[in-house]
Amino acid sequence: MKRLLAPISLALAISALSITACSRNNIEAVNLANEGDQDKKANNIDGAISKYEQATNLDPTNHKILGKLASAYQKKEAWDKVASTCARAEKVAPKFANYYAQHGHALIKQAEKGPTGWGDAKQPLEEAIKLDPNIADAYFDLGEVQFHGDDEAAALASYTKAIMTKPDELSFYAYLADLYKNLNYIDLAETTLTQALSFAKEGDKALFNIHSLLGDVYDRKRDLNKALTEYEAAKKSCGQCNEPGQPIAFFNLGAAYASVSPPRKSEAISNLQNFQKIICKGAAAARYADQCTQAQQLATKLGGTLQ
């Protein structure tokens, strides 16, 4: 009987050693992840990624470390790696909604430039909402997927749900209002934008789009004075207006000054001139060809010229 005990004892010993090795790996993984956290705080994202990668290799079952790695990749805008890391985390923690939301967002960022399609993001976003109906960004991203899939009705519903979930996020209102405007629901667009302004905070970058869209709404309603007020607010909110998409503020404001009665000629020419220099003589000229032509026409009508 004693001779039978030896193999059993050996098996137990091997099992104990395996458990000990596994525990050591788990502890080392946590230590490396903590070091990665310190690198991230010091803005050493590459260092943080290296530590998190080592940690996930030691303990691939720790979904929290996988989440940290995905977030670090997101800082680098390495969207393919964000998506693949989130997919790993989903397998380990299939009830954790944030991984699906982040996964879907990463797929959207890839779809903006290729190679993935917008529809690829739909499933993880829907799963995120199913698991946690309080993730506003997931509703918004799903709205983007639906919009690019030509399902405007579904997009309207998702954008609205994003606002209901996080009503102080101004950027959500801009997308909803823009879609309303494009569908010719001008009054609904106005209501959405004025509601957004009730949550406005100084310095919020979304204010530029809110005021610009509201100016366009009033333009369409032929309320030129209100349009001018909103375009002035848009220009104020973006300062030098040198970020992508913002130089249109000079055209909007110049056209508004030219259109009020009586026209404010010098202010109109000044803003149209800025638009001419920044856009019409630059790489974006083709994209804004219509506005460049209109700027020249407005300047001529006012008795001026654009250099």
Per the domain annotation, does 117 fall within a domain?
Answer: no
In this prediction, residue 21 has a pLDDT band, given cuts at 50, 70 and 90, of low
| Interval 93-104: pLDDT, tens | 999 999 999 999
What number is the average pLDDT over the span 208-215? Answer: 98
Per the domain annotation, does 83 fall within a domain?
Answer: no
Take residue 59 and report the two structure tokens written for it.
């303990």
* Number of structural domains found in the chain: 1
In this prediction, residue 20 has a pLDDT band, given cuts at 50, 70 and 90, of low
Task: Check pLDDT > 70 for residue 14.
Answer: no
pLDDT of residue 206: 96
Task: Check pLDDT > 50 for residue 12.
Answer: no
181-216 burial, b for 16+ CB within 10 Å, e for fewer? beeeebebbbebbeebeebbeeebebbbbbbbbbbb
Task: Check pLDDT > 50 for residue 284.
Answer: yes
What number is the average pLDDT over the span 281-300? Answer: 93
pLDDT of residue 113: 87
pLDDT of residue 6: 45
Task: Check pLDDT > 80 for residue 248.
Answer: yes
Alpha helices in the chain (DSSP H): 2-41, 45-58, 63-75, 79-92, 97-113, 122-131, 136-148, 152-165, 170-182, 186-197, 207-220, 224-238, 248-259, 265-275, 289-301
Task: Check pLDDT > 80 for residue 1.
Answer: no
The range of the structural domain enclosing residue 285 comes to: 243-307
Per the domain annotation, does 183 fall within a domain?
Answer: no
Task: Check pLDDT > 90 for residue 24.
Answer: no
Per the domain annotation, does 305 fall within a domain?
Answer: yes
Per the domain annotation, does 237 fall within a domain?
Answer: no
pLDDT of residue 22: 63
Q: Let me know if 243 is exposed, middle or buried by CB neighbors in 10 A (0-12, 13-18, 19+).
A: exposed
Per the domain annotation, does 185 fall within a domain?
Answer: no
The Cα 121–Cα 284 span in angstroms is 30
Per the domain annotation, does 211 fall within a domain?
Answer: no
Count of positions (residues) in the chain: 307
| Interval 100-132: pLDDT, tens | 999 999 999 999 988 789 999 999 999 999 999
Token pair 């939301």 in the structure block, residue: 101
What's the Cα-to-Cα distance from 95 to each of 187, 215, 251, rounded to whole Å?
Answer: 41, 44, 49
The Cα 126–Cα 293 span in angstroms is 44
Task: Check pLDDT > 50 for residue 10.
Answer: no
pLDDT of residue 163: 98
Per the domain annotation, does 69 fall within a domain?
Answer: no
